[in-house]
Structure 1
Amino acid sequence: MALTYALPRRIVRRRAAQLGVVAAAGALTLSACSSGTQVSSSSGSRFVTSSSGISTVPKAERKAAPDISGETLEGTKLDVNSAYKGKIVVLNVWGSWCSPCRAEAANLAKVAKELKPKGVEFVGINTRDASMGPAKAFEKDFGVEYPSLYDPAGKLILRFPKGNLNPVAIPSTIVFDRDGKIAARKAAAMSEEDLHKMLDPLVAEK
């Protein structure tokens, strides 16, 4: 006869907590890419994800962006919400250690220059780099001229409300509209075509 026994409660609780940590860590590495258009909703915004992995929120349902401010890699203070009020803001979460970030960097730098005259500002959020040196070298290598906030512990990322197109991977690119509301996101590397698909409709908004 097989013997059965119950694990002590403290062990059960410990294993459940460990599984929760693993699941949360895994969620942060997932991309938002999908094979077709999907409509999602939660306690936050209702958004649509296209086959290219770009999620967008209808203008009437967008939520206010969180406060994004801190010190840049150049050592200056930057408050994104006030400095770029009335502008479309493209936030790119990246790390110098991240291969997909390297793949997209030149695309971001190019489109940033193209759309700046149309009222579009790009800002990076550099995360998980233990020091600024590798991050600065990354910007120089790929011709990134827009500022990046230094956020090694990911504290700025945690300011985004869940369910409102928060960053769920590195890289992630999130766009604020001219009213300072979260309008779009892609949680994967961006091509030039992706950036224009995401930004051109927002530039055209009245």
Structure 2
Amino acid sequence: MSDWSALPGRTNRRTTRRRAAVPVRRAVLATGAAAAALALTACGSGGTSGGSADTKFVAGTGGIDTAERGDRQPLPAITGTTIDGKKLDLSDYQGKVLVLNVWGSWCPPCRAEMPHLVKVAKDTKADGVEFVGINTRDSSKPPAQKFEKEFAVPYPSLYDPMGKLMLRFPAGSLNPKAIPSTVIVDREGRIAARALKALGEDELRKTLEPLIAEK
């Protein structure tokens, strides 16, 4: 039996459609490259990081990476609008130990860790520790607002639906590249630690203690 699509004058419609779709697929991939980089989430397929002479941070066995005091990179300039519509500039937290948590209302690990973050935020405020969230990949504010109300989150969160604020962190630094991620900044505004996973209360306190003690 002859192959109908191979006869003279015939065009394989499936092949034509497949070839026509390639440029569109490539365009979609190119447009979403930045978003794809942030899609490596604990809610999906999270990753781990390792320390090296170039990055100058040490990969912790528990998934928390740290940098020695002399090797810390400065927190990039990050400003924006909170979920409640207020302006926020992270440079205002200079002199405080800053815990910066990246979360999404759609993310189960974010829901699991939030009670721990809330408790530690309340307990350490008197020690000069401040918390700020970065809400990402929520296409509208109501789900994020509902999330904050449900967990009685006592600190503000920047609204960053496209993940643009996360891309401001320099490559090779202790940058947030998963959801959830937690970045801890020392009193001098330098990145001291990072977790690419949901944190428990005890490990968060353990990470904060030496930074609180720094003068």
Unaligned runs of 5+ in 2: 1-21
Match in the other structure for 1:136:
145
Q: Please say if residues 32 and 188 of structure 1, whose CA atoms lie closer than 8 Å, have aligned partners that are also in contact.
A: no
Q: Kindly report structure 1 stretches of 4+ aligned residues shifted beyond 3 Å.
A: 24-27
| C-alpha distance 101-148 of structure 1, shift in aligned 2 (>3 A) | same
Unaligned runs of 5+ in 1: 1-10
Match in the other structure for 2:52:
40
Q: What pairs up with 1:52-71 in 2 under 5 angstroms?
A: 52-71=62-81
Q: Please say if residues 184 and 192 of structure 2, whose CA atoms lie closer than 8 Å, have aligned partners that are also in contact.
A: yes
TM-score normalised over the length of structure 1? 0.83
| C-alpha distance 92-59 of structure 1, shift in aligned 2 (>3 A) | same
CA RMSD of aligned residues (A): 2.5
| C-alpha distance 26-175 of structure 1, shift in aligned 2 (>3 A) | closer
Q: Does 1:28 align with 2:40?
A: yes
CA separation in 1, counterparts of 2:82 and 2:53?
34
Q: Please say if residues 58 and 183 of structure 1, whose CA atoms lie closer than 8 Å, have aligned partners that are also in contact.
A: yes
Q: Percent identity among equivalent residues? A: 57
Q: Does 1:73 align with 2:83?
A: yes
Q: How far off its partner does 1:18 sit? A: 6.2
CA separation in 1, counterparts of 2:38 and 2:129?
32
Match in the other structure for 2:60:
50
Q: How far off its partner does 1:32 sit? A: 2.7
Q: Please say if residues 31 and 188 of structure 1, whose CA atoms lie closer than 8 Å, have aligned partners that are also in contact.
A: no
Alignment-mate amino acid for residue 87 of structure 2: K
Match in the other structure for 1:163:
172
**Equivalences, count:** 187
Map Cα deviations across residues 113-147 of structure 1 (whole Å, 9 max, x no partner): 01110000000000000111000110111121100
Match in the other structure for 1:90:
99
TM-score normalised over the length of structure 2? 0.79
Q: Secondary structure at the match of 2:58?
A: strand
